[in-house]
Amino acid sequence: MTVIDDLLDGAVDLHCHSGPSPMPRRITHVEAAQQAADAGFRAILVKCHYHDTVTDVLSMAPQLEGLPTAVYGGIALNSVNGGLNPWATDRSFRMGGRMVWFPTISSRIHLAHAEAHAETKAHFQPLGMLQSEEVAVVDGDGEVRPEVGAIIEQARDAGAIVSTGHLDSASALAVVRTAHGLGHDRIVVSHPDFVSDIGREQLAEMIELGAVVEHEIAMYHRDHIFPAEQLVDWIRALGPEHTILGSDLGQVGNPLPVEGYRGLLGRLLQLGVAEEDLALMVQRTPARLLGLES
């Protein structure tokens, strides 16, 4: 076995974009799980901006039966799902959901980014679907909306992860502060340098409050959006103990998730990131966030 094989044996992907989805996907959740199992992954968590993937996973249970890789789902709090909807999150968690993403395609900063980038807007508005509406986590006075705390309490009690989604830095920090105040320590801040524009100073505070920063393989694989050297800078600045890697892959036109992991892990090894640090980022920390026993 190679070093990369060893790293993938026990890996956990918390950001897999398999299907079904209204957005074009290369693989189904079952195919993603099969490919992950072939590589030795411990678990994957499948994401859709448009619907709760928990019901997807449950409907595919007969096809997933016997695979050594666990498959989990979650819900994104976009306008299509009712925004900050504690009834939707309650149902999701009670049916086995393990992640709630605060607004992604319905965040203010995402909508502004889409308006400025036609390709982004088209990608996130498939099939001619209605344009997402903004879902704000703070009110006009800058106070966190009460639904935010209620949803985080649900996630805490269910042992599920809270993600800041595509929120801007101030909104993401408000969510992280609320989660910390409610005693929840399974918090993820995704791709801070893509759309959300969260700086290192804000991330340092979020880390102090218990958050983990997730960087996406889709953005660094073959320097697709950012050079891999930039990811190395992030890891060294924030610390591998506060960093995880998710694939953010499964879309048509992108590499398959396992392919993305293999390519980027090899590049990071070439750039001097230690094998032990990579194991922490792709195995142990995401497994802890999911509540998997070591």
Domains parsed from the chain with CATH numbers: 3-290 (3.20.20.140)
Average pLDDT on 226-251 reads: 97
Average pLDDT on 16-34 reads: 97
Please write the tens of the pLDDT for every residue from 144-172: 999 999 999 999 999 999 999 999 999 99
* Mean of the per-residue pLDDT values of the chain: 96
For residue 204, give the nearest of 212, 216, 194 by alpha carbon: 212
Residue spans of alpha helices (H) in 198-256: 200-208, 217-220, 228-238
Average pLDDT on 28-46 reads: 98
Element (H, E) at 82: none
Please write the tens of the pLDDT for every residue from 166-221: 999 999 999 999 999 999 999 999 999 988 999 999 999 999 999 999 999 999 99
pLDDT at 294: 58
**33 pLDDT exceeds 90?**
yes
For 164, residues 6+ apart whose C-beta sits below 8 A from its C-beta are 102, 171, 172, 175, 176, 187, 188, 189, 190, 196, 211
Please write the tens of the pLDDT for every residue from 73-127: 999 999 999 999 999 999 999 999 999 999 999 999 999 987 887 877 777 888 8
Cα–Cα dist 244/12, whole Å: 10
